Chains A and B, each alone.
Chain A
Amino acid sequence: MSDLLNFLGQSLKVLIPTSLVSWQTVLWLAVFIFIVGNLGLNLAVRNVVFSILSLDEIFKQLRKTLTPPKPDSWQTLLWISIFSWAMSLLPESFFVQGFIATCAWFFLIPGIHWFMHEEKFEVFDLTINIKKGLTINGIWLGPWLTGALVCLLLFSGLPEARVSVAFVCWAPISAMIAALPKFIAMGPKYKTPDPGARQELVILLLTNLLLSCWLQLFFLTQSWLVDYPSLLTEDLSKSAFVVKLASDRPTSRGVLILDQAETVVKEQLDGQTWSQVERWLFDLKPQMQRLENTVMSQLPPLKENELWHIDGRVLPRTEYQLQMMAVWQGPSADGTGYHLVKPCQITRIPDTRRSIARTVASTQIARVTCDVVTPPKAGQPDVGT
């Protein structure tokens, strides 16, 4: 029983929605609306309601639909496929099981392709013209469904990161399936298509290749957004290539960077003697460079980390107000980058750890407190020389 569920799970897991907004939810929603709309607007609802009262009628109808009327029909292929799949549950070895299951797919896919040619599909006293239902504007969409199934078969073993290969190959494979009838002469034998039909084949193939290029562009922009997540925080309305569908803007990664920097600075300076702190602040530029290296090594490695820099300055005439800045020097909506500022206070407090009886001069230690990060300001900051 477990390997039955395993097989079902393997082949159907692609269709399970991964999140609320994904193509699987859209697909299932479309299927649901199609079925409900069909039942609602069709007169078949009356027949269905009546025959629900007599269940054996339903089974008789189903058996009539699914029995092959002649030896070569799609029902035979469907039954062979189900038979092979049932047979695949018997062997113990994983490879033989997989091989027979693949054979089951090899019969299922031509069966479904043949089914879509069906012009008189009779079920529940109702004749549905499947071929016409799948034709939009004179173009029969059957090969694209078959192509999707073939891609599912070929590419279901790929890891999650490479799922784009399946989508990109879907359109050319469907074009080849759609072109297949022209390559078969009577008999069935292979023939090169006659010159009159070749022009259509060329246009069909090129259109599908262009479609797969567009899908590849989608995957490319997705991979860029994974590498450079700060692009999502920007205003993308002026772009000529992309459109942003979500209306919320996530918080900038600069906040994360500055919070991490605050932790590191507190580790380094909190509780140190005042003279050490003053030496640290005197040497600010190399300290900031070292801080940047430390913070970047602690954050998850992304390609955009190279475009973030940490800078700092001490406000003059204060007993140390340190402003740490995360500067973004990459692409931005106005072209100048932006920076976020975290103001910190380094104050002196008397040392309460040493006992009062000691006669050394009372030392003072530092305490670092930081505020929240300010919203991003456009342009690069001026830190002086």
Chain B
Amino acid sequence: MFEVLPLRAVVFQCLFLLIAIAIEALVFYRTLSLDNKTSMQYAISVNLLSTFIGWLCFFISQPVLPVTWRVQLISFIFFEHFYADPLMLNVAPVLVVFTLGMFLGTFLIKLKGLDFLEMLLERNQKPDGAIAEKPKRRGRQEQLVGFRSNSRIYAVLVANASSFSAILLLLFLRLVEQYYLPQ
């Protein structure tokens, strides 16, 4: 029963999570001017939430996939590539659309997650006092109304893009190592 374990998926996911949390904590620290501990905790919560919702979507969509797609998914998980189906299923555009959707999806989840987290922690009263002093520090180009939400959208976007870039870089390095080094 234990011949095949999904340990590699768990290890890779832990690695990606740690890197994403570190990068996003740094971005939150710089752009939202929170202290170290709070930005780290926000990054952890938001990344865990998006990972969990991603797994949930996977587990919900997996039984309703058509059979050919599911066999391609199985081939991807066990053998790391898609196989030439006699029915000529075209997987490359699907993959591109899926990656793009994943980026936008995680961005939205992180944004809403951060809002919900701040509401849960009852910290959303603070910026009312901070707005009065912020324009003096940040310059005059920011509007008073919607200042907080613009800054947060920017912060989450930059954080998401940075962590995705880091993960893509790691995957690219792994690809290079797999295909070029054995020769």
Contacts and interface: CB of A to CB of B under 8 A. Distances in A.
Given A206-B48, A335-B81, A242 B74 contact: no
Interface stretch (A78-86, A179-187, A230-238, A271-279): A230-238
B10 interface: yes
Interface stretch (A4-12, A62-70, A135-143, A324-332): A324-332
Interface string A231-254: 110101011111111100000000
B117 A202 contact: yes
Given A232-B3, A240-B8, A242-B78, A195 B122 contact: yes
B4 A225 contact: yes
A350 B133 CA distance: 108
B3 A221 contact: no
A206 B52 contact: yes
B52 A214 contact: no
A244 B1 contact: no
A220 B62 contact: yes
Given A199-B121, A210-B52, A217 B6 contact: yes
A123 interface: no
Interface residues of A, number: 46
A236 B41 contact: no
Interface string A210-231: 1001101110111011001001
A290 B161 CA distance: 56
Q: Which of A195, A228, A331 has the most CB of B within 10 A?
A: A331
Contact of A236 (B1, B52, B79): B79
B80 interface: yes
B74 A224 contact: yes
Given A240-B12, A242-B78, A22 B1 contact: yes
Contacts of A306: 67
B52 A209 contact: yes
B64 interface: no
A333 B79 contact: yes
A43 interface: no
A307 B75 CA distance: 13
B172 interface: no
A206 B109 CA distance: 14
A216 B54 CA distance: 13
Contact of A232 (B4, B48, B121): B4
A336 B59 contact: no
Interface in A159-215: 195, 198-199, 202-203, 206-207, 209-210, 213-214
A244 B52 contact: no
B6 A245 contact: no
Interface in A109-139: none
B2 interface: yes
B41 A203 contact: yes
A232 B84 CA distance: 20
B3 A238 contact: no
Interface in B140-183: 174, 178
A330 to B, nearest CB: 6
Interface string B62-79: 100001000110110111
A232 B2 CA distance: 12
Given A217-B9, A329-B86, A21 B1 contact: yes
Interface in B1-59: 1-10, 12-13, 41, 44-45, 48-49, 51-52, 55-56, 59
Nearest to A199: B41
A22 B132 CA distance: 63
Contact of A203 (B9, B44, B174): B44
A296 B160 CA distance: 50
A221 B6 CA distance: 8
**Residue among B13, B48, B77, B174 facing the most chain A CB atoms (10 A cut-off):** B77
A163 to B, nearest CB: 11
B9 A240 contact: yes
Contact of A228 (B49, B74, B123): B74
Nearest to A217: B6
A21 B2 contact: yes
A243 B121 contact: no
Given A206-B52, A241-B77, A243-B5, 20 more contacts: A195-B121, A199-B45, A202-B117, A203-B41, A206-B49, A210-B52, A210-B55, A216-B55, A221-B6, A221-B77, A222-B1, A234-B78, A239-B8, A239-B78, A241-B8, A245-B2, A245-B4, A306-B67, A329-B86, A332-B83
29 contacts: A21-B2, A195-B123, A202-B120, A206-B45, A206-B49, A213-B52, A216-B55, A217-B9, A217-B55, A221-B6, A221-B77, A222-B4, A228-B74, A231-B78, A238-B80, A239-B8, A240-B8, A240-B9, A241-B6, A243-B5, A245-B5, A330-B71, A331-B71, A333-B79, A335-B79, A335-B83, A336-B83, A336-B84, A337-B83
